[in-house]
Amino acid sequence: MEKKNPFLSQFKSAWAITKKDISIYYLKPPVLIYGFIFPGFLFLAFFLGKNMPFSSLLPVVIVLALFFTSSSVGPIITPWETRMRTLERLVSCPVSLEFILLGDILAGFLFGVGITLILSVFAIPFLSIGLKSITVLLGTILLSGFCFSCLGVLLSAPATDNPSNIMMLSNLVRLPLIFLSGIFIPVNKLPALGRLIARFSPLTYTVDILRSNFYEECIYSPVLSLTALFIFTVVFLFLGMVLHKKNLSKRF
């Protein structure tokens, strides 16, 4: 009799959870508002009417799209399922909490990366923008998308069944990050305290490596930026797992 691989079995369960999240949460109003509409208007408010080259605008568009779409799915899943009592059924299934959360992370990751890749595929050739390396662009989008999705799941850790509370918390975290990460104001033009805070934002490194890849001025080397993004991903993933496990009993 063939012995089942427990890791593979758990991963299949996580993938089933991902497909469930895709079918249920992608079209939820909070995801559409904070994943599409809000970053779109935010971009227009800062850049409409300004005489800036497309090579400077496109990295900002990519980062805003990736950040908000990847981090908008995770914050509503856990509180919504807590309210609907479906979380109880999930944790009673033969799948660990870590793989339940992995399924939620993959849902946000696929949403953000999918939208961003579609945007990039159409925008780069249409605008005739020079690109140093397609591999660096893809690697940055994939790693950043997973990092931001982990952040979204981390933000859903508080033990509440009210999705609006989590969305308020997530915006309280996300909005300062976009203003202190060199998206609208270059990091080297921020005051000393702002430059220090910018080092602790994953967005800073995503923006920097994309600008470098589009032949724009950058601060850090691509290797340093990718390393920093990997470290942020590990930290967000670890904290998310720990806090969700700690608050799980408070949800029932």
Burial class (CB in 10 A: 0-12, 13-18, 19+), 31: buried
Name residue, tokens 């032949």: 215
Gap between the Cα atoms of 32 and 37, Å rounded:
7
Q: Which residues of the chain have pLDDT under 50?
A: 1-2
In a domain, 131, yes or no: yes
> What integer pLDDT is reported at residue 30 of this predicted model?
77
> What integer pLDDT is reported at residue 101 of this predicted model?
94
What is the number of domains present in the chain?
1
In a domain, 2, yes or no: no
User: Whole domain around residue 84: which residue ranges?
Assistant: 8-251
Gap between the Cα atoms of 6 and 4, Å rounded:
6
From the list 130, 122, 112, the residue with the least C-alpha distance to 65 is 112
> What integer pLDDT is reported at residue 49 of this predicted model?
60
From the list 156, 129, 125, the residue with the least C-alpha distance to 239 is 156
Gap between the Cα atoms of 220 and 137, Å rounded:
16
In a domain, 1, yes or no: no
Q: What is the pTM of this model?
A: 0.90
In a domain, 20, yes or no: yes
From the list 98, 79, 72, 132, the residue with the least C-alpha distance to 11 is 98
